[in-house]
Amino acid sequence: MSDTAPHLLEVDNLSTYYFTRDGVVKAVDGVDLRIDRGEILGLVGESGCGKSVTSLSILRLVGEPGKIVSGSIHFEGEELLTKTIHEMQAIRGDRISMIFQQPVSSLNPVYTAGFQIAEVYEVHQNLKRKVGLEKAVEMLARVGISDPVRRAKSYPHELSGGMAQRVMIAMALAAGPELLVADEPTTALDVTIQAQILDLMRQLRADMGMAIILITHDLGIVAEMADRVAVMYAGCIVEEATTDVLFARPKHPYTVGLIGSVPIIGTRKEWLEVIPGRVPNLIDLPPGCRFASRCRARVDNNLGICTVTEPDLLEVEPAHKVRCWLYQEIPS
Amino acid sequence: MTGPGSLVPDPLHPEGPLPTGPLPEGADLRGETARLPETRGLWATAFRELSHKRSARIGMVMLGLLVLVAIFAPLIAPYEPTQVLLGKEDVRPRDPPCIHLFGCDDSKPQHILGIDGNGRDEFSRLIYGSRVSLIAGVGSVAVAVAAGTLLGLLAGFFGGRIDNLIMRVMDVLLAFPSLLLAIAIITVMGQGLINAMLAISVVTVPAYARVVRSAVLTVRENDYVAADRALGVSTSRIIWNRILPNSLTPLVVQATLGVATAVLEIAALSFLGLGVRPPTAEWGSMLAAERNQVFTAPHLVFFPGLAIMWNVLSFNLLGDGLRDALDPRLNR
């Protein structure tokens, strides 16, 4: 397996549906992802496009009423979807870790920061509490917390948002995972702290060599951090390319709209570009391309097929995939 | 942008360009070097809050006195609690209190709370009664809390059918008048202090199960539980090390107030002749034995009643104070 597929993580045709009373919400619908060792993959899209559900699916943490209905997830050649609960528990936090958006509330209020990091060692490496605490202090120093001995004894409510996120990162990286899933790690932080945290993540990536899936809606962060970017829309990946290529030559109308809607510091525009319309209801998706109803290019080029058949995600240039009829042959 | 020497001021930096370039050697710009205050744990904080509240202080002092009395009962009590003094001293049943200091005849033996109906020293019996009352109160609550916590944790964490089953049984228990149910249980199991305690435990379990369950339902949805799952922490560890400590606050308050109720119920059961067996000194049974002599020997009814009230009041004051001290919503 690993001979033919050298990727660290391979997600194929992953679909995660939520079975609600109103109907089936197709939160993730046929997503393919590849990530190699030491790579940072940016996963961008607006709220509700399925970014977080994709990451939760990789760790198999989708809760009721959600369910992974199809697809496969290979991590170092092993299929994760057929693992038992105990096998998954052994993988989570040890080989794949995750950090969350709200750092302060993601820490347990009744335990000190050091204790919570030490517990990761206890759970995954069977270390004694005392040894774990010593290593926790080391880890805190490593994520750039000053006075780590003292800070290890702090409770979460005594930490600032930036520090709490550093503690979360220390917890996630304690066991030395090969893959870190960062779900909007800096959304709740202000910009200066944001820069520090991103810097830290990049530096730790260089030190420890883990791969990172960086989930965000902030294109600035992606441009700065990611090696490769996948753009998600309504549960699907619509475009995937290296970061430079994606920002220089975006192809999918949605990506073009996204990049156009970012204000540029120092210039004033009368209007910011806006993508008209709203994300379609994920319960009963219309046939055809999911973006069709909001797509200017469809109208300009008078493409009838967009509302009839969904395009495939095809490689239009080397390492640049787009899911759009503009770039592929329309079947007659 | 404006170049150096331009007459047009830079709108972003009117006072001139900010210094850029490499930082001076040794500069620490992590911004988290401020001196940290000494950290204090949850319980230390709670105790401090507690001692700031007058009613809680009074409760603690009253309870402290009671505990001291119970521990040092043999040193305080002038007689054995079950020792019949008739024929040994010049006393008759139901003699009123005789205190030499307050002008009681020196020829008569001193009994500061008088003699009970069987010719025993009332004061000594009252002192020893504190032991039974405290042990029975705290013991029955401890058993009820243990059982209630377990049931509440299971119901709250797993939900669904388990939740329904457990909570409906609890509802049935609550539907009975508690004292009647306790009497029924004692009738089946037989009379005695241990059985009375168990009966009270059974009757009060639903209260604790409900408190714990509702706390679990709140805590379960917290981000840090999701974070723990992502770190590969097992379910049982999440229940015991995450959810339980965070649900403890309302439980502690409920348990403290519950001791007061349990003390009253033990006294009530003993009053009905279902609690402790006769020679043992117990406030409720002492009260019951002399209830027909309220007018001829009021001291034999008044002082046991006062003792029960003292005990109940101290726990109630303490519980009220704890509720305020542990309430995180009140910011001080």
- Indicate if the pLDDT at residue B36 is higher than 60: no
Structural domains of chain B ordered from first start: 43-68+124-277+302-326 (1.10.3720.10)
Instruction: Please check whether residue A295 lies inside any domain of the structure.
Output: yes
Residues sharing a CB contact under 8 Å with residue A197, sequence separation 6 or more, in sequence order: A162, A165, A166, A169, A185, A186, A189
Burial B105-123, CB ≥16 within 10 A → b, else e: eeeebebbbbbbeebbbbb
Question: Looking at residue A227, what is its pLDDT?
Answer: 92
Beta carbons of A108 and B246 less than 8 Å apart: yes
Q: What are the distances in angstroms from CA A44 to CA A11, A35, A222, A239, B8?
A: 17, 15, 8, 10, 40
Q: Are A214 and A221 in contact (CB under 8 A)?
A: yes
**DSSP reduced 3-state for B183:** helix
The pLDDT of residue B2 is 42
Chain A, residues 93-152, CB within 8 A of chain B, namely 93-94, 97-98, 100, 102, 105-112, 119-120, 123-124, 144-147, 150-151
- Judging contacts by C-beta atoms under 8 Å, the chain A residues touching residue B223 are 100, 102, 105-106
Which pLDDT score is estimated for A73? 92
Examine residue A287 and state whether it is found in any structural domain, yes or no: yes
Using CA atoms, how far apart are residues A124 and B231, in angstroms rounded to an integer? 9
Distance CA A251, CA A314 (A): 12
DSSP B89: B
Q: For B174-203, what is each residue's pLDDT tens digit? A: 888 888 888 888 888 888 888 888 888 988
Query: Of A110, A180, A192, which to mutate for an interface test with B (greatest number of B Cβ within 10 Å)?
Result: A110
Query: Are the Cβ atoms of B227 and A91 closer than 8 angstroms?
Result: no
ipTM of predicted assembly, 2 dp: 0.72
Q: Which residues contact A323 (CB under 8 A, 6 or more apart)?
A: A236, A237, A238, A239, A252, A289, A310, A311, A312, A313, A314
Which domain, by its residues, includes A93? 9-107+159-327
The distance of A177 to chain B (nearest Cα, Å) reads: 10
CA separation for the pair A58, B325 (Å, rounded): 43
CATH code (residue A257): 3.40.50.300
- Specify the pLDDT at position A57: 92
Give residue B74's pLDDT band: very low, low, confident or very high (50, 70, 90). Answer: confident
Q: Is residue A293 one of the residues assigned to a domain?
A: yes
Judge whether A237 and A313 are in contact, CB under 8 Å: yes
Please, which residues 252-281 of chain A have a Cβ atom closer than 8 Å to chain B? Answer: 266
Tokens describing residue A294? 């909001």
**Cβ-based neighbour number of residue A243 at 10 Å:** 18
Q: Would residue A66 count as lying in a domain?
A: yes
CA B162-B163-B167 angle, 5° bins: 120
User: Touching check for B27 and chain A: CB below 8 Å?
Assistant: no
Answer whether B231 touches A (CB < 8 Å).
yes
**How distant is the Cα of A149 from the closest Cα of chain B, in angstroms?**
12
The predicted pLDDT at position B34 comes to 44
What integer pLDDT is reported at residue A2 of this predicted model?
A: 42
Higher pLDDT, B87 or B7: B87
Model confidence pLDDT, tens digit, residues B100-140: 777 777 777 777 787 787 878 888 888 888 888 888 888 99
In-domain check, residue A272? yes
- Is the CB of residue A91 less than 8 Å away from at least one CB of chain B? yes
- On whether residue A318 sits in a domain, the answer given is yes
Phi, psi of A70 (to 5 degrees): -160, 175
Q: Please, which residues 187-226 of chain A have a Cβ atom closer than 8 Å to chain B?
A: 192, 196
Mutation site for B-interface testing, chosen from A106, A120, A168 by largest number of B Cβ within 10 Å: A106
pLDDT per residue rounded down to tens, chain A (332 residues): 444 557 899 999 999 999 988 888 888 988 999 999 889 999 998 888 888 899 999 989 888 788 899 999 999 888 988 888 888 888 988 899 998 888 888 888 888 889 999 988 988 888 888 898 999 999 898 888 888 888 888 888 888 888 888 898 889 888 889 999 998 888 878 888 888 888 888 888 888 889 999 999 888 889 989 999 999 998 899 999 999 999 989 988 889 888 888 877 787 777 777 787 777 778 878 788 888 888 888 888 888 888 888 888 888 888 899 998 888 877 76
**Residues of A (32-71) whose Cβ lies below 8 Å from B:** 59, 61
The 10 Å Cβ neighbour count of residue B44 is 10
| The pair of three-digit structure tokens given for residue A160, joined into one six-digit string | 């600032």
Position A248 in a domain: yes
The DSSP-derived string for B247-299 is HHHHHHHHHHHHHHHHHHHHHHHHHTT-SS-TTS--HHHHHHHTGGGTTT-TH
**Is A113:A194 a contact under the CB 8 Å cutoff?**
no
**Dihedral, A279, A284, A286, A292 alpha carbons, nearest 10:** 10
Residue type, B124: S
Angle between helices B193-220 and B178-189 (to 10 degrees): 130
Number of domains in chain A: 1
Contact between B224 and A168 using a beta-carbon 8 Å cutoff: no
Decide if A258 is inside a domain: yes
Contact B39 A154 (CB under 8 A): yes
What is the band of B297 on the pLDDT scale with cuts at 50, 70, 90? confident
Q: What separation in angstroms does the CA of A204 have from each of A104, A112, A211, B219?
A: 21, 23, 10, 32
Q: Residue B236: pLDDT band by 50, 70, 90 thresholds?
A: confident
Give the single-character DSSP code of A79.
Answer: E
SS3 of A233, please? strand
DSSP assigned state of B242: I
Bridge partners, residue B193, by sequence:
none
Alpha-carbon distance of B130 to B133, in angstroms, equals 5
Which whole-number Å values give the CA distances from A7 to A1, A33, A243, B125, in the listed order? 10, 10, 19, 81
pLDDT in tens, B132-167: 888 888 899 999 999 999 999 889 888 889 899 999
Nearest residue, CB atoms, B231 vs list A92, A111, A151: A92
Q: Is the pLDDT of residue B204 over 60?
A: yes
Q: What is the pLDDT, as a whole number, of residue B329?
A: 53
pLDDT band at B226 (very low <50, low <70, confident <90, very high): confident
Tell me what pLDDT residue B22 has.
57
User: How many CB atoms within 10 Å of residue B33?
Assistant: 10
